[in-house]
Amino acid sequence: MNAIKTFYKKIFSEKIRINNRKNLKKLNGLFLKGNNFYCNCCEQSFSKFLDKSNGIDNRENAECPNCGSLERTRVLLEFIKNETDLLVKPNKLLHIAPEDALKNIFKQTDNLRYINADININLADEEMDITSINYPDNTFDYIICCHVLGHIPNEKKAIDELFRVLKKGGKALIQTPIHPINNTFENAEFKTEEERLKNYGEKDLLRLHGQDFQERLKRENIIVEKIDYRNKIDHNLAKKLSVGNGYRELIFLCQKV
């Protein structure tokens, strides 16, 4: 099996392999048509969503088989549509590590000047290290950065950079898993994928964010609000959207003043 995987990686580029995985999931979706679950990102209904597992934690009905949206993605889109002017006014948006489900929506929104970026150029339109963002101060009206900061070695510098390029009055929407611990846990001695998977739950995660995450985001010119928007969504819709348990779906709304 390892030999087959190695051969597959040799003959297909990473970008092609990523697209192949997406297309395979879409094929699965053809067999899951129904009305039990609804994806607000691609506006399709299914008998169930795909389960999601990292080998330690298994989430049922987590991923849309068509567009790949997750619980947090669907909650965030409800917040964006109902609580912001992102989709209705001329705005400049920076989308870090873009979720395809949201990227598809933003690219089709005429009023947006939309930039999506990732450290891996195969995952976005623009290559970017968020600890050194190649844009001037006060450039963006909105920034979306979800489940990224836990993977960045120099988290403080990344946060400072995000807020540097955010306009005064602009808003950054940030998500990260929040664990039931008071203080964020990180240990630089966990260097291997096995150690990180065992201690953090993901092989490329560098810390577990705790209840102090809101404080970690605060700056002199940044107001941070923690929002559990799952509770604002109609109960029946929330059930169809499969909005998670709040561990991954909290929204930290950061406004520059």
Pair 15, 59 in one domain: yes
Pair 87, 191 in one domain: yes
Pair 145, 107 in one domain: yes
State which of 63, 80, 106 marks the end of a domain. Answer: 63
Split into its structural domains, the chain has a count of: 2
> Which CATH number goes with the domain that contains 214?
3.40.50.150
> Containing domain of residue 195, as a range?
71-256
Q: Enumerate residues 6+ apart whose C-beta is below 8 A from 116.
A: 94, 95, 96, 98, 103, 106, 124, 125, 126
pLDDT at 11 (0 to 100):
66
Pair 37, 160 in one domain: no
Pair 126, 33 in one domain: no
pLDDT at 23 (0 to 100):
64
Pair 54, 16 in one domain: yes
Per-residue pLDDT of the chain (257 residues; tens, 9 = 90+): 565 556 556 665 666 666 666 666 777 777 799 999 999 999 999 999 999 987 667 899 999 999 999 999 999 999 999 999 999 999 999 999 999 999 999 999 999 999 999 999 999 999 999 999 999 999 999 999 999 999 999 999 999 999 999 999 999 999 999 999 999 999 999 999 999 988 998 899 999 999 999 999 999 999 999 999 999 999 999 999 999 999 999 999 999 99
Pair 139, 221 in one domain: yes
Pair 10, 118 in one domain: no
Phi, psi of 150 (to 5 degrees): -70, -10
* Closest alpha carbon to 208 in 147, 130, 129: 147
Pair 87, 47 in one domain: no
Pair 49, 75 in one domain: no
State which of 63, 88, 111 marks the end of a domain. Answer: 63
State which of 46, 63, 80 marks the end of a domain. Answer: 63
Angle at 167 between CA 225 and CA 158, to 5 degrees: 70
Pair 14, 115 in one domain: no
pLDDT at 216 (0 to 100):
98
Pair 134, 194 in one domain: yes
Sheet containing strand 112-118, edge to edge, reads 126-127, 112-118, 91-96, 140-146, 166-175, 251-256, 222-227
